[in-house]
Structure formats: structure tokens, C-alpha cells
Structure 1
Amino acid sequence: MTAVAIRPEELKKNIAAALGSKARQITLALDEVTVTVAAADYLESMRILRDSDACKFEQLIDLCGVDYSTYADAVQEGPRYAVVSHLLSVSLNQRVRVKVFCADDDFPMVASVAELWNSANWYEREAFDLFGIVFDGHNDLRRILTDYGFIGYPFRKDFPLSGHVEMRYDAEQRRVVYEPVSIEPREITPRIIREDKYGGLH
């Protein structure tokens, strides 16, 4: 039998009580609770959210990196990189979003939560691969989507659209080789079809 979900306002209060001073900010918008914690308190905060009787977030259903350097076409003040997680309590029928900012923009790092939820393993590898965020304590932190020789982190806002290197098979060397990108960057503006009866539409 599915538990009846409590009101978001009550969930916000329960999370505030459970985390205490570890919660830097708790917001409620569109009936969704978001809690922000410091990088130093991240692992312990996540453990509390999993184990507290009022929270019981048994499942981590998503984790991703965010580059706030040009978020919403605005300049972000404060840390550039964040890790955002979504937790689910099946037993209490409730959800929460957890946000933690990496303290150092030059070497973004937070603790791994893979010891708390196995599902964090590949999510954290993806955030490392695409954003360069290091998850301290992860037992197998390596790229998961890009090639082994890939240079850079493609989801960072300053990563070039065409990348840094391209690869091709060299018949003489009989292997794949990497070379600087030869594609000239250009902006493509799509043409808009304005015909009155295009596609049979009237």
C-alpha cells in the first residue's frame, strides 16, 4: 500500500529539523523542496536524509553536474559548479532535490555518495566525464561516455562546440590517431519556411 504523501510545507520542515545547521538553504517552489548544503557537509547530510525517520530517502534516482557560469544568460556569483541530486522515499512517498556547490572552480570536488546509494556510481562517473567534477571516495572514477583519449569536459559552458581534437583511422600507422580539430567554427541560423500552404497546412 502506497503511503500518502505529506504536504511539501511539512516535508520542508521535516528536512530542516533533520539537517539542522547543515542545511544552508531550503526552498519550496512548484511544490518541490530543494535543499542546499555545503560541500563539507554533503556526505553526512545525504546520510541523514537516507536514515532519518522523517526522511527515509532510500533511493537516489538522479545525480548530475551543473555549470552555473552563464546560467540563464546571467553571470553567476559564487561557485561555478554544482552537483544536483534527486532523492525518493518509497516508504513515505516523498521526494527532495539536493544541491551542493563545489568549493574550488579550478578543481571542482565533492564527496562521493556511492557508499550510500549504488545508483550514484554511474551518475558520478557521468558528471566527472562531462563536467570534470571529482567525486572523492569513488572507487572507479573514470570516463563513461567519451573516448579514453578525450580531452576536456564537453558540458562545461566554455567547451568549444567542435571540441578540441578529432580522430581518424590512419592506414599507414594502422591505428586511430588524434589531431587538432580542422573544422572552422561557424554559426548556423536555420531558415524558417513561411509558405502559406506548406505541408498541406492552411
Structure 2
Amino acid sequence: MHNQLFFKSLIATLPKWINKSKISKKEICIYTNPDNLFQMFFFLKNHTNTRFRVLIDICGVDYPSRKDRFEVVYNLLSIQYNSRLRVHTRVDEITPICSVVKIFPAAGWWEREVWDMFGVYFSNHPDLRRILTDYGFEGHPLRKDFPLSGYVEVRYDDSEKRVISEPIEMTQEFRYFDFSSPWVPGDG
């Protein structure tokens, strides 16, 4: 009941910033444009009736068939009101999202991870560089179109006594997959 009332008051307070909203598994989910994120988070953290002071995490999701391919999801917690809030925004491959590090300093690491894994750019980030892959890594490995084998192979060459990085050249033949189950009763 408390979540329903809070949900309604939040929607009434922020009508210009919220595109869509729902309650899912006792969590409030709101969808907004990337242009509204900074102002919305400032409000959500500091307003007397919200107090979402803890940024739990930020994650990215790739939907290659959508026009705005990437969805960035922010999970917030208000300890004072014992409430959780999930904020979603969508961007394409070239549109930047304003960093929220000035509001939530912990966002720095998670924004770097989303940048490294998906290639979503966060403008005004104080230190946007790779965090999980090597600095010379090509591409963003959690994109759905990233090849499973990657673009380069890194190996130690015993004859040269050093690590060598070389492009992968893989030809893959057509494979036939037999999806019938040998355990289906009545086939034997």
C-alpha cells in the first residue's frame, strides 16, 4: 500500500520527466529520456519525500533490433523510506548520457563498466576509460553483435619470448544441429 501511494505521488510530482512507469515485484520502475537523468537524480536524492541516497548499481542491456539499442538501468535505494526505484533510459550507439558522478560518486565505476562492455558514452565523466578489458581492446564484448571469439588473439610466442597479438582469421563451416532428443519415450 505504501508503495502505491508513493508511486502515485512520484508520478504526479515528475510528469515532465517520466515517459512510462510501472510497479514490478514491489519495485517502482520509471522510464525517462537521457536528457532528464541528471535533474531527475538530483531531485530523487535530495527531495524530502524521496531521499534516494544510495545508488545500488548501473547496468546496460543491448536490444539490437530497437532504434535506441541500449537501455541503461539505474537501481536506487531510499533507506529512510525503505523503497527501491529502478530508472530506465534508452540511447542509440552515438548518443551520450550525462554522467551522474557529481550526484552519486559511486556511479563512476559502473558508468566505466557500461562504457567498456557496451560502448555507451557518459558525457562529463571524470575518468571514462576501460575498466574490465585491456586498454588496447577492440569493441565492446557485451554487445549482441560482438563475435564470440573476439577480433584478436593474444598468445605467448615461445620463439620470440613475448606476448603476440594478432587478428583472428576463422572460417566456420555450416553445421547441422540435430535437436531431436534421444530420451523421448516411444522412439526406441
| TM score, norm. by length of structure 1 | 0.80
Offset at residue 31 of structure 1 (A): 2.2
In structure 2, C-alpha distance between the alignment counterparts of 1:66 and 1:173, rounded to whole Å? 41
The alpha carbon displacement at 1:23 in A equals 1.0
RMSD of aligned residue pairs (Cα, Å): 2.4
* Cα-to-partner distance string for 1:31-82 (whole Å, 9 max, x where unaligned): 221111111111111111111111100000010111112xxxxx43x31112
Partner of 2:69: 80
Query: Pick from 67, 77, 81: which aligns with 1:92?
Result: 81
What residue in structure 2 maps to residue 198 of structure 1? none
**1:168 aligned onto 2:163:** no
Give the corresponding residue for 1:34.
Answer: 29
Letter in 2 for 1:152: G
Q: 1:7 to 1:189 in 2, by over 3 A?
A: farther
Q: Structure 1 residue 149: deviation in Å?
A: 1.3
Kindly indicate whether the alpha-carbon contact (under 8 Å) linking 2:21 and 2:28 is maintained by their aligned counterparts in 1: yes
Map of 1:18-167 to 2, 5 A cutoff?
A: 18-69=13-64, 75-76=65-66, 78-102=67-91, 105-167=92-154
Q: Determine what percentage of the aligned residue pairs are the same residue.
A: 37
Q: State whether residues 69 and 93 of structure 2, in contact with CA within 8 Å, keep that contact through their aligned partners in structure 1.
A: no
Q: Which runs of 5+ in 1 are unaligned?
A: 1-5, 70-74, 195-202
CA deviation vs aligned residue, 1:166-190 (integer Å, no higher than 9, x gap)? 1112345543221112455587979
Q: Deviations over 1:135-191 (max 9, x none)?
A: 111111111111111110011111111111111123455432211124555879799
Q: Distance between the aligned counterparts of 1:185 and 1:108, measured in 2?
A: 35
Q: What is the one-letter code of the residue matched to 2:94? A: F
Q: Is the 8 A contact 1:25 1:37 kept in 2?
A: yes
SS at match of 2:81: coil
Instruction: Could you list the structure 1 runs, at least 4 aligned residues long, displaced by more than 6 angstroms after superposition.
Output: 186-193
Uncovered stretches (5+) of structure 2, i.e. residues with no partner: 184-188
How many residues get paired?
Answer: 183
TM-score normalized by structure 2?
A: 0.86
Cα gap change, 1:44 to 1:188, in 2 (>3 Å): farther
- State whether residues 93 and 120 of structure 2, in contact with CA within 8 Å, keep that contact through their aligned partners in structure 1: no
Residues 190 and 173 (structure 1), Cα distance of their counterparts in 2 relative to 1, 3 Å cut: farther
Give 3-state SS (helix, strand or coil) of 1:66's partner. strand
